[in-house]
Amino acid sequence: MATIYNTATTLDGYLATPDNSLQWLFDVPGSDEAESGIDDFLAGIGAMAMGSTTYEWVVRHESLLERPDTWTAWYGDRPTWVFTRRSDLPVVRGADIRLTHDPVEQVHAELVAAAGDRDVWIMGGGDLVGQFADAGLLDRITATIAPVTLGQGAPLLPRDIRSDRLTLTSVTQRGQFAELTYDVGSPSGLRHVD
């Protein structure tokens, strides 16, 4: 069981434009090929977490309030924790979505219990993933790098994580995209217990 951050990023390290759009990703020729391994990845995922900005973009971009079956087609019945302070955040009908503003340490225990023998996917955003990393609860980063630069926007992972904590475990070319996977060690003094 691992806690994984799997995301697409620009060559200059941004997840989204300053107005939180991911359209840059879908505009890259061959973006479907870059997603070719997503079904295998999702088969190993038992629970998910994301920040409210990521959740709201997915809901809006895919019209999930009008087409809730799309959520199920992608993510199945996996429980998903959305970190937010808003109580009025719309929830996709029929999806197991749990709104929370509890500390990541507490929610991580719930994620692990829900995932069983499968992995936990922290979808984003970068600051939420950073909170998991700060707590020593992030095991792996898979960043699929797109041939795009934005110059500004939402950073991939706004934390200072040095090379003594990151070990490159695989590099895969997917069309114009490069998929890099790193195992993440815990910060000094913290120990991740599965």
Where do the structural domains in the chain lie, given as residue ranges? 3-184
Angstrom distance (rounded) from CA 79 to CA 133: 21
Residue 27, pLDDT above cutoff 70: yes
pLDDT the model gives residue 193: 45
Question: Could you tell me whether strands 140-146 and 14-16 are parallel, antiparallel, or unpaired per DSSP bridges?
Answer: unpaired
Q: Give 54's contacts (C-beta < 8 A, 6+ positions apart).
A: 123, 124, 125, 128
Angstrom distance (rounded) from CA 35 to CA 53: 21
Amino acid at 68: P
- pLDDT: is 96 or 32 the higher one? 96
Confidence of residue 186 (pLDDT cuts 50, 70, 90): confident
Angstrom distance (rounded) from CA 152 to CA 12: 9
Check: CB of residue 48 under 8 Å from CB of residue 190: no
Check: CB of residue 166 under 8 Å from CB of residue 183: yes
Q: Distance between the two ends of the chain, CA-based, in angstroms?
A: 7
Residue 36, pLDDT above cutoff 80: no
Confidence of residue 45 (pLDDT cuts 50, 70, 90): very high
Q: Which superfamily is assigned to 3-184 in CATH?
A: Dihydrofolate Reductase, subunit A (3.40.430.10)
Percent of the chain past pLDDT 90, that is, above it, reads 83
Angstrom distance (rounded) from CA 130 to CA 137: 10
Confidence of residue 190 (pLDDT cuts 50, 70, 90): low
pLDDT the model gives residue 18: 95
* Residue 132 DSSP one-character state: H
**What are the angstrom distances between the C-alpha of 75 and each of 65, 66, 132?**
15, 17, 22
* Residue 122 DSSP one-character state: E
pLDDT the model gives residue 38: 83
Token pair of 39 as six digits? 């079904």
Bond prior to 136 in cis (omega within 30° of 0):
no
As a whole number, mean pLDDT of residues 157-174 equals 95
Lowest mean pLDDT among 32-41, 53-62, 122-131, 155-164: 32-41
pLDDT the model gives residue 58: 92
